[in-house]
Structure 1
């Protein structure tokens, strides 16, 4: 997948652990782990909004596009 979630970076900058962040945004630690480890196929805007609110950041601070090597153009 070409979209990467850089949650670890923002969590480290805010000195916040995964359990605390999961509690503050209202998702399970397991679902936060899926996001953190780039295993998610989608993210709800409400979750993205909560992450940005709690981490005091912009969506672009959390999401990064990296082109796939050898990907077919559309």
Structure 2
């Protein structure tokens, strides 16, 4: 999985393809999100060519 910066894209492009605002994408990227819709997670994984487990971490 390549970070977005290595893909030669601007933040606007993946946000548009995923269907979220740049602000919401930033919140997700910086770990400040309290929840995420499965459809959004699926779209992000499709865009980054990864699996949900590559993006999520659980802190007990």
Name the TM tier (shorter chain). Answer: 0.7 to 0.9
Query: Could you say which residue in structure 2 is the equivalent of 1:63?
Result: 56
Consecutive unaligned residues of structure 2, counting only runs of 5 or more, are: none
Q: TM-score, normalised by structure 2?
A: 0.78
1:16, distance to aligned residue in structure 2 (A): 3.8
For residue 57 of structure 2, give the secondary structure of its aligned residue in structure 1.
strand
Higher strand share: 1
Q: Which residue, 29, 32, 53 being the options, matches 2:25?
A: 32
Q: TM-score, normalised by structure 1?
A: 0.66
1:47 equivalent to 2:40? Answer yes
1:66, distance to aligned residue in structure 2 (A): 3.8
Query: Could you say which residue in structure 2 is the equivalent of 1:72?
Result: none
For residue 64 of structure 1, give the secondary structure of its aligned residue in structure 2.
coil
Consecutive unaligned residues of structure 1, counting only runs of 5 or more, are: 1-8, 68-74
CA offsets, 1:25-45, max 9 Å, x none? 011001101111111100000
Larger radius of gyration: 1
For residue 53 of structure 1, give the secondary structure of its aligned residue in structure 2.
helix
Higher helix share: 2
